[in-house]
Amino acid sequence: MWVIIQGIPLNTTQKELQRFLKRQLGHKGWFGLPVRQQTRLKSAAILRMTDRVTGIVECHGLAQLETLDRDMETLRTLNGHQLHGRAVTVRKYYHRSARPQGARRNIPSLKSERRRLDLHVEMA
């Protein structure tokens, strides 16, 4: 499962994001002993998005998790925790292409582009 971590602070590094995710996913059992981990972090990256018109910069994390069919539980576990004093929102991420595919091509409401056209995205 891919997740997007929205609203991370601008100064967050990839290593800090990985540590944050591993810490939140590292479940502890009785007396603080580790239990078999149900979710494993496979990869994580920082997306830095700059609006070319306003100059506003946003940072989001993108992570691939191996969840053993516990997607909703994993999202609840990660959502709302603080990274550098700022609460983050975690959602399931869906890959999509730049243009509609198949039957959607003929549906007018789905033909319009949802992406912000003036947004420059770079992966850090």
101 in a domain, yes or no?
Answer: no
Residue 34 lies in a domain: yes
Residue 78 placed within a domain? yes
Q: How many domains, the chain?
A: 1
- Domain assignment present for residue 86? The answer is yes
Question: What would the pLDDT profile of 76-103 be if each residue is shown by its tens digit?
Answer: 889 999 999 999 999 999 887 665 555 5
Q: What is the pLDDT of residue 12?
A: 96
**What tokens does 61 get?**
């994390």
Structural domain contains residue 118: yes
For the chain, residues with pLDDT lower than 50 are none
Q: Is residue 48, in this structure, part of any structural domain at all? A: yes
Q: Are 119 and 50 in contact (CB under 8 A)?
A: yes
Contact 49, 115 (CB under 8 A): no
In a domain, 102, yes or no: no
Report the pLDDT value the prediction gives residue 29, as an integer from 0 to 100.
Answer: 57
How many Cα atoms are found within 13 Å in the side-chain-facing hemisphere of 61?
29
Residue range(s) defining the domain that contains residue 76: 2-95+110-123
